[in-house]
Structure 1
Amino acid sequence: MSAEDAIETIIGRFGKYQIWIFFLITFGRFPTEYQLTNVVFIMPSVEYVCMDENAYNLTNHCPCANPQYDQSTIVSSVTSTWNLICEREQLASLTQSMLQVGILFGSMFYGQLSDRYGRKVACLLALTSEIVFVALSSASSELWMFIVARFFIGTAVGGTILCCYIIIIELSGKSFRPYLAGLIEISYALGYFTLPMFAYYLRDWRHLQLATSVPWAFVTIYYYLIPESPRWLITMGQKERAVQILTHIAKKNKRPTNNITTLVDRAVMESQTSSDKQHANYTDLFKTPKIRAYTLIIACVWMCCSHTFFGINQYIGRLQGNIYLNVIISSVSLMPGLVLVVLASLYLRRKTAVITSFVVAGVSLLVFIFIPADMRILELTFALIGQLGAHTAFVQAYLYSSEIFPTVVRNSAMGFASVFARVGGFIAPFVVNIGIQWVSIVIFTVLAFFAAFLCYFLPETKDIVLLNTIDQTEKSKELKTIS
Structure 2
Amino acid sequence: MDLDEAFGLVGEFGPRQKKLTAFLVLLQVFVAFQSMLIVLVGAVPEYLLDQEWMPSSTEVLAKHVRFVSNFTSIATEWYLIKHEAYKVSLASSLYFAGLLIGNIMFGPLSDKLGRKPVYLTGLCFDVIFGYVSAFAPNYEVFAVSRFFVGVTNGGMSLVAFVLTQEYVGKSFWALTGSLTNLTFAVGIAIYALLGYYIREWRFLAFVSNSPGLFFFLLSFMLPESPRWLYSQGRTAEAESVLQYIALGNGKERVTVKLKQCKGTVKKDNSAPGVLNLVSHPILRWRTVLLMYIWSGRCKSTTAFLIFAGLACIFTMCLPENTGGFFFSPRILALYGKLTVSAAFNIIYIYTSELYPTVVRNAGLGVCSMTCRFGGILAPFVPSLKSLGPSVPFVVFGISGLSAGFLTLLLPETLNKPIAETIEDLQMPTYQMLKNKKAE
User: Could you say which TM-score interval applies, normalised by the shorter chain?
Assistant: 0.7 to 0.9
What residue identity is the alignment partner of 2:364?
Answer: M
Partner-residue secondary structure (3-state), 1:355:
helix
**Matching of residue 194 in structure 1 with residue 190 in structure 2:** yes
Correspondence for 1:298 = 290
Matches within 5 A, 1:221-236: 221-236=217-232
Contact 1:10 1:256 in 2 (8 A): no
Contact 1:134 1:149 in 2 (8 A): yes
**Matching of residue 282 in structure 1 with residue 274 in structure 2:** yes
Partner-residue secondary structure (3-state), 1:459:
coil
Correspondence for 2:41 = 42
Partner-residue secondary structure (3-state), 2:272:
coil
CA distance in 2, matches of 1:81, 1:440: 36
Matches within 5 A, 1:266-281: 268-272=260-264, 279-281=271-273
Per-residue deviation at 1:205? Answer: 2.6
Long gaps (5+) in structure 1: 56-62, 306-349
Per-residue deviation at 1:233? Answer: 0.6
Range with greater deviation from structure 2 (31-40 or 286-295): 31-40
Contact 1:97 1:425 in 2 (8 A): no
Contact 2:30 2:211 in 1 (8 A): no
1:18-55 deviation per Cα after TM superposition (whole angstroms, max 9, x unaligned):
11001111222322112223443233465444432368
Correspondence for 1:364 = 311
Contact 2:305 2:401 in 1 (8 A): yes
Per-residue deviation at 1:249? Answer: 0.8
1:219-258 deviation per Cα after TM superposition (whole angstroms, max 9, x unaligned):
2323432110111111111111111111111111123654
CA distance in 1, matches of 2:43, 2:208: 18
Partner-residue secondary structure (3-state), 2:409:
coil
CA distance in 1, matches of 2:241, 2:269: 23
| Equivalent of 1:419 in 359, 366, 369 | 369
Matches within 5 A, 1:148-187: 148-187=144-183
Range with greater deviation from structure 2 (245-254 or 470-479): 470-479
| Equivalent of 1:428 in 378, 381, 384 | 378
State the identity %. Answer: 28
Correspondence for 2:26 = 27
What residue identity is the alignment partner of 1:93?
Answer: S
What residue identity is the alignment partner of 2:354?
Answer: I
**Matching of residue 470 in structure 1 with residue 422 in structure 2:** yes
**Matching of residue 138 in structure 1 with residue 138 in structure 2:** no
| Equivalent of 1:456 in 408, 412, 416 | 408
What residue identity is the alignment partner of 2:375?
Answer: G
1:350-385 deviation per Cα after TM superposition (whole angstroms, max 9, x unaligned):
31x212222233333445555649x99977655543
**Matching of residue 71 in structure 1 with residue 65 in structure 2:** no
Change over 3 Å in CA distance of 1:433–1:282 after alignment to 2: same
| Equivalent of 1:400 in 333, 350, 356 | 350
Change over 3 Å in CA distance of 1:474–1:67 after alignment to 2: farther
Partner-residue secondary structure (3-state), 1:451:
helix
TM-score (norm 2): 0.85
What residue identity is the alignment partner of 2:349?
Answer: L
1:372-429 deviation per Cα after TM superposition (whole angstroms, max 9, x unaligned):
49x9997765554333222211111111110111011111111111222211112223
What residue identity is the alignment partner of 1:207?
Answer: F
CA distance in 2, matches of 1:206, 1:380: 37
Correspondence for 1:111 = 107
Long gaps (5+) in structure 2: 55-60
What residue identity is the alignment partner of 1:360?
Answer: F
Per-residue deviation at 1:90? Answer: 4.0
Per-residue deviation at 1:137? Answer: 0.8
What residue identity is the alignment partner of 1:71?
Answer: S
CA distance in 1, matches of 2:313, 2:192: 28
CA distance in 1, matches of 2:425, 2:121: 30
Partner-residue secondary structure (3-state), 2:126:
helix
1:175-228 deviation per Cα after TM superposition (whole angstroms, max 9, x unaligned):
222322322223212202211110101123322211111143122323432110
Per-residue deviation at 1:435? Answer: 7.6
Contact 1:299 1:418 in 2 (8 A): yes
Contact 1:7 1:172 in 2 (8 A): no
Per-residue deviation at 1:152? Answer: 0.7
TM-score (norm 1): 0.78
Partner-residue secondary structure (3-state), 1:148:
helix
CA distance in 2, matches of 1:386, 1:78: 34
Change over 3 Å in CA distance of 1:435–1:41 after alignment to 2: farther
Partner-residue secondary structure (3-state), 1:185:
helix
